[in-house]
């Protein structure tokens, strides 16, 4: 896999290995990337299988994954189907992840007023 920063080596024998993806995600998260869409394409006897998964690069958490199968004769139709499905699913998955992140961030940064005001006795 190539990235704007050069080739990405995901590690492990199998590119889809969860530990390898989490490791890869943590490296690119340091560059400000929050989400990674990873996938693979395999073909056999006139058929093609496309897999895709959305990963939170900051935590390595899988947010969504799916598999698409089709004929090589209709590969462009399959490509359109994958693009439509991925776009339709990713947007709500990202919204849910960002909402959860926002709630978690607010809880982590908010402190009770008593602890803030205790030194000044207000």
Tell me if 92 is assigned to some domain: yes
Tens digits of pLDDT across the chain (122 residues): 444 433 443 433 444 456 676 677 677 778 888 888 889 999 999 999 999 998 888 888 888 899 999 999 988 999 899 899 888 888 888 888 889 888 877 776 655 544 444 444 44
Is the pTM for the entire model greater than 0.75? no
Query: How many domains is the chain partitioned into structurally?
Result: 1
> Domain limits at 32?
2-106
Tell me if 120 is assigned to some domain: no
Distance (Å, whole) CA 61 – CA 101: 12
Tell me if 53 is assigned to some domain: yes
Distance of CA 19 to CAs 16, 26, 42, Å?
9, 11, 21
């Amino acid at each position: 896999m190539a990235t704007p920063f050069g080739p990405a080596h995901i590690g492990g024998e199998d590119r889809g290995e969860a530990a390898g993806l989490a490791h890869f995600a943590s490296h690119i998260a340091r560059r400000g990337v929050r989400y990674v869409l990873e996938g693979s394409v395999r073909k056999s006897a006139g058929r093609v299988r496309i897999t895709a998964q959305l990963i939170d690069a900051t935590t390595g958490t899988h947010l969504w994954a799916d598999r698409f199968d089709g004929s090589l004769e209709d590969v462009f139709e399959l490509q359109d189907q994958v693009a439509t499905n991925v776009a339709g699913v990713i947007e709500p998955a990202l919204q849910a992840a960002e909402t959860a992140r926002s709630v978690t961030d607010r809880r982590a940064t908010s402190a009770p007023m008593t602890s803030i005001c205790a030194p000044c006795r207000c």
